[in-house]
A and B are shown apart, each in its own frame.
Chain A
Amino acid sequence: MANIEDHGGQSKAARAVSGGVLLAAGLVISFFAWGYPTGSLNQMGPGFFPQTIGILISLLAVTILIVDLRHPALERPSAIQWRGLCFVSVGIIIFALLVERAGLVPSMFLAVGVSMFADDQAKPLTVLIYAITAAALGWLLFLVGLELPIPAFWRL
């Protein structure tokens, strides 16, 4: 998915991105699927379907590639929202890494706090208050209300 950053507008290369990435995916799937046993028709092996699917994706990708390259006025993909992408990602990753170590409440607090900076007008104090409120509400809803079996603070 590396070349997806290269969205230059309507150059040939840019128009080939969607078909190209999909083709790569199809080839990767086919590559792995070829290692799985195919079996026979009445005893189909685990490889039969993945191989079919890999070929099918590749064929569809080629079709898309051709259609896109011949398309006269292809819609330009919108610019990537780097700020949103980064802070949302980091927020979720923090949640994932902390929930089994620090417990639900701290991880909710940090996930909300970090992800709020995806908004470029976020102010630290607002974020702090908001994250505390969110963690408290989350605690009420998930632990008190729904009694989900997740520790609030790990082993405390």
Chain B
Amino acid sequence: MLDQFILGLSVVMQPNVLIYAFFGVFLGQLIGVLPGVGAITAISLLLPVTFYLDATTSMILLAGIYYGSQYGGSIASILLNLPGTPSSVVTCLEGYPLAQSNRAGLALFVAAFSSFLGGMVGVAVLVLAAIPMTVIALKFGAPEYAMLVIIGLLAASMIGTGSQIRSLAMVVLGIALGLVGADATTGYYRFVAMPELADGISLVSLAMGLFGVSEVIRHASRRPMRGAAPLSVSMRDVIPTRAQAKSLVFPIVRGSSIGSFFGALPGTGAAIASFMAYAIEKRFSRKPEKFGTGHLPGLAAPESANNAASQTGFIPTLTLGVPGDAVMALIIGALILNGIIPGPRLMVDQPELFWGVIASFFVGNIILLLINIPLIKLWVLLLRIPYQKLYPMILLMICVGVYSHRTSVTDVLLTLAFGILGYLMKNYRFEPAPVLLGFVLGPLLEDNFRRTMLLYGGDFTIFVTRPISAVLFVCSVILIVWALWSCLSLRRKVARTSP
């Protein structure tokens, strides 16, 4: 594998290829910062450009935009509480409190560095284990996905800071919102109050509303919401202390492993990976009460997970020619434009393309780290701007981002509705993050569960008779028992401490 990887490196290190790798990640990073304007917009915009480039260069450019935008996404989440993608929702949970307590620089540094390490682990998995991972991914049928999603939903209900039952209720509310639109199995319209809802509620509307707009409503008229950021940021405030760094080693290792695994499963990807990583950190932590208040391990783990996942997400695309999500489909589209139809033979027929692209991930992650560290100072300066001058721009970007996403006015109005909902929810101690996760996972659960029933004639035992599914089933039972047990023991503790 290593000599092939070196072949790949030799492709990337050609100046005219390298410059596209640089532009790809740079552009991706910039676009990722803009809420609502995702990698898809950027990639589809640049698609015609790739027609003038060869296949390898196009793919390096487009892939760079994709994982570059993952880096950018965390910046908006940390500074402004604006998650552009489901995977950056958990970044908000710890990153935004850090920024509000004047530690934005530290948060950005930790996010960038964990992203870098996660990305590198993802690349290593891609180089060393692409084929075995593909074999495993193909073993995941509908029952396995259904069980996996159930585990994900359980994890989702654990990420809130408040009461478990409220979080669980929000997960289920999220699933309910995910039901809106045409049913995937029969096409039947459910809760379609107006024709624009036929394809369901847009994730971008929901995320921008619950997180972005609600935050603006809460703070627009209230001042000061935070102490002014320091005028200049010294590198010492940005780099974690030795003790902090030490506490991040295992979260990053766990996050990257979780991310690498989930990324390779087509269709689940980075979102599940990042909050699984978060939930596991919270469970493993000796200080679970610190989560939600700007706890660094809770930032590092999901950041490394989603970047690892965005690299291993290329596994099904590269080894099978099967796009895992819309972005991958777009990248495959670019290859097709160049007359290469990616499939299982890509690795054999086009080794320079295959390995060149993988090597470009390696180089791209290094470039991203190098451009991110100096930019931190600049980003922190953004917080010098008083919130009263910042929020109209935030609203503007949300409006344009959401509108351009599906060219839909309804989506903009829905974003407002979710903003008000999110605002009221928080007033009544309900948290938005579980809603979003339920919304993402709910349709996956229904889809795979019903497909399982259709495939195996309504036989429930299928979940325990298929080996992988059985293991996942046991895991989810353990999770439920664990949650109940910790819930009860917590209550006992509370009963003991409060008179």
Interface residues, chain A, CB within 8 Å of chain B? 1, 4, 7, 17-18, 21-22, 25, 29, 32-33, 36-37, 40-46, 48-50, 53-54, 56-57, 60-61, 63-64, 67, 75, 77-78, 80-81, 83-85, 87-89, 91-93, 95-97, 99-100, 104, 107-108, 111-112, 115-116, 118-122, 130-131, 134, 137-138, 141-142, 146-150
Contact of A46 among B169, B183, B216 (CB under 8 A): B183
Contact of B458 among A25, A33, A41, A111 (CB under 8 A): A41
- In the assembled complex, which residues on chain A have CB atoms less than 8 Å from the CB atom of B31? 146
Please tell me if the beta carbons of A88 and B419 are within 8 angstroms of each other in the complex. yes
CB distance from A34 to the nearest CB of B (A): 12
Please tell me if the beta carbons of A96 and B172 are within 8 angstroms of each other in the complex. no
> B168 at interface (Cβ–Cβ under 8 A)?
yes
- In the assembled complex, which residues on chain A have CB atoms less than 8 Å from the CB atom of B459? 42
> B52 at interface (Cβ–Cβ under 8 A)?
no
Please tell me if the beta carbons of A111 and B396 are within 8 angstroms of each other in the complex. yes
- In the assembled complex, which residues on chain B have CB atoms less than 8 Å from the CB atom of A32? 190-191
Please tell me if the beta carbons of A81 and B217 are within 8 angstroms of each other in the complex. yes
Q: Which B residue sits closest to A114, measured CB to CB?
A: B392
CB distance from A29 to the nearest CB of B (A): 6
Question: B181-221: which residues lie under 8 A (CB-CB) from chain A?
Answer: 183, 185-186, 188, 190-191, 213, 216-221
> B373 at interface (Cβ–Cβ under 8 A)?
no
- In the assembled complex, which residues on chain B have CB atoms less than 8 Å from the CB atom of A148? 41, 400, 404
- In the assembled complex, which residues on chain A have CB atoms less than 8 Å from the CB atom of B220? 81, 83-84, 87-88, 115, 118-119
- In the assembled complex, which residues on chain B have CB atoms less than 8 Å from the CB atom of A138? 396, 400
> B488 at interface (Cβ–Cβ under 8 A)?
no
- Cα A89 to Cα B344 with chains together (Å): 51
- In the assembled complex, which residues on chain A have CB atoms less than 8 Å from the CB atom of B217? 81, 84-85, 88, 118
Q: With A57-B173, A80-B424, A150-B407 given, can you name 11 additional A-B contacts, CB distance below 8 Å?
A: A36-B188, A41-B458, A44-B185, A60-B169, A61-B169, A80-B427, A92-B413, A96-B416, A112-B393, A112-B396, A121-B223
> B228 at interface (Cβ–Cβ under 8 A)?
no
- Cα A7 to Cα B191 with chains together (Å): 30
Q: Number of residues in B with C-beta < 8 Å to the partner?
A: 65
Q: Which A residue sits closest to B459, measured CB to CB?
A: A42
Please tell me if the beta carbons of A146 and B41 are within 8 angstroms of each other in the complex. yes
Please tell me if the beta carbons of A115 and B400 are within 8 angstroms of each other in the complex. no
Contact flag A111-B218 (CB < 8 Å), given A56-B172, A148-B404: no
- In the assembled complex, which residues on chain B have CB atoms less than 8 Å from the CB atom of A147? 45
Contact of B392 among A42, A112, A120 (CB under 8 A): A112
- Cα A116 to Cα B37 with chains together (Å): 23
Interface residues, chain B, CB within 8 Å of chain A? 31, 34, 37, 41-42, 45, 163, 165-166, 168-169, 172-173, 175-176, 179, 183, 185-186, 188, 190-191, 213, 216-223, 388-389, 391-393, 395-396, 399-400, 403-404, 407, 409, 412-413, 415-416, 419-420, 423-424, 427-430, 442, 446, 450, 453-454, 456-459
Q: Which A residue sits closest to B403, measured CB to CB?
A: A99
- Cα A75 to Cα B186 with chains together (Å): 45
- In the assembled complex, which residues on chain B have CB atoms less than 8 Å from the CB atom of A41? 453, 458
CB distance from A78 to the nearest CB of B (A): 6
Q: Which B residue sits closest to A77, measured CB to CB?
A: B427
Please tell me if the beta carbons of B399 and A150 are within 8 angstroms of each other in the complex. no
- In the assembled complex, which residues on chain B have CB atoms less than 8 Å from the CB atom of A22? 169, 173
Between A and B, 11 residue pairs with Cβ closer than 8 Å are A18-B429, A25-B176, A42-B454, A46-B183, A50-B176, A77-B427, A85-B420, A91-B395, A111-B395, A119-B388, A150-B407
- Cα A60 to Cα B236 with chains together (Å): 47
Contact of A44 among B416, B423, B429, B450 (CB under 8 A): B450
Contact flag A150-B404 (CB < 8 Å), given A36-B190, A67-B163: yes
Q: Which A residue sits closest to B457, measured CB to CB?
A: A42
Please tell me if the beta carbons of A4 and B453 are within 8 angstroms of each other in the complex. no
